[in-house]
Amino acid sequence: MSSPARPAGPSVFEPLGDERYAPTDYARGPWDPRALHGGAPSALLAGVLERTLAAADPEGEALHPARLTIDLERPVELAPLTVRAFIARAGRKVRIAEAELLDERGARVARAVLLGIRRLPDALDLSVAVPGPLSPPPPLPSEPVALPAAHFSHGAGGPMFHSHAVEHRFVRGTLGAPGPGTDWIRVQIPVVAGEAVSPLQRVAAAADFGNGVAAPLPVGWTFINPDLTVTLQRLPVGEWVCLDSAGQVDPAGYGLAESDLWDEQGRLGRSVQTLLVEPLR
């Protein structure tokens, strides 16, 4: 199969055909110019898994993507990638899709699992249900904020995922500053060239920032997340996803970052990242 023509305008990935994708500079992370930000492959895998779940439904009924789990097993290099996706559990009420992300050598660098739950055609009468918290979402600031370039740049210049593919509007804190933080995040270019960004992709891209929004330690430490788990009550409406995040670490060298997820209508769900904690060398 021939490769599609190079599209106009920036995107995080360019499709090469046969579920192969070339990451652009907009996929790069801040620590190594040769490696991707975790939000880039997370969003890519989310989109492929959505399509895999939908294709397995003989009646064409959409499932609610209730849980997305991503294991970032190795650094993902700035080089063409292949996604292999399949249905791990078929069912009418619950369906599970899995995907592997492979580098040019065929080595697996990430894996992901998406659990879908059936949607009822008619709404249930939930008048007897105990209502959940009805707190309003954090306010969405009217202007973007400047990010701290000093410790979020590898010096190579050019676009990066955290600073050019997404936009940040902090309510409290800033990216990489220690302590809890609240950040509205918007994916502002296509994840895959020529494709609209889906609500699930917006959540996956944003949720990977939890450990940066609520950095548990100051400059001089790394707290890389080897995984990301997102559970959703519903999908976001609109372009913005808010993370209200907090982190904690253990002297043994591991930690946890947890985020409540919001859109402008209310709470969406929650995301969790385990952290590998080390002094920066």
Q: Is the pLDDT of residue 208 over 80?
A: yes
3-state secondary structure of 164: helix
Residue bearing the bigger pLDDT, 141 or 31: 141
In the chain, the amino acid numbered 279 is P
Q: Is the pLDDT of residue 253 over 70?
A: yes
Please give the share of the chain, as a percent, with pLDDT higher than 70.
91
Alpha-carbon torsion, ordered 86, 161, 216, 249, to 10 deg: 30
Which CA distances in Å does 72 have to 54, 112, 170, 220, 275? 24, 9, 26, 23, 12
pLDDT digits (tens, 9 = 90+) for 212-234: 999 999 988 989 999 999 999 99
Environment class of 181 (CB within 10 Å of its CB; exposed 0-12, middle 13-18, buried 19+): buried
pLDDT digits (tens, 9 = 90+) for 86-133: 999 998 899 999 999 999 999 999 999 999 998 888 888 777 877 766
User: 160 and 25 in contact (C-beta within 8 Å)?
Assistant: yes
Name the one residue in this structure whose structure tokens are 């891209």. 205
Say what angle helices 39-55 and 199-207 make with each other, to 10 degrees. 150
Which CA distances in Å does 41 have to 9, 28, 201? 20, 10, 10
Q: Give the Cα separation of 177 and 148 in Å (integer).
A: 9
Distance from chain centroid for Cα 65 = 14
User: 243 and 174 in contact (C-beta within 8 Å)?
Assistant: no
Smallest CA-to-CA distance from 208 within 11, 36, 91 is with 36
Band of the pLDDT at 35, cuts 50, 70, 90? very high
Neighbours of 262 (CB within 10 A): 23
Token pair belonging to 264: 């402008």
If one looks up domain 13-120+150-279 in CATH, what number appears?
2.40.160.210
Domain ranges of the chain: 13-120+150-279
Q: What's the chain's average pLDDT?
A: 90
User: 210 and 192 in contact (C-beta within 8 Å)?
Assistant: no
Neighbours of 217 (CB within 10 A): 18
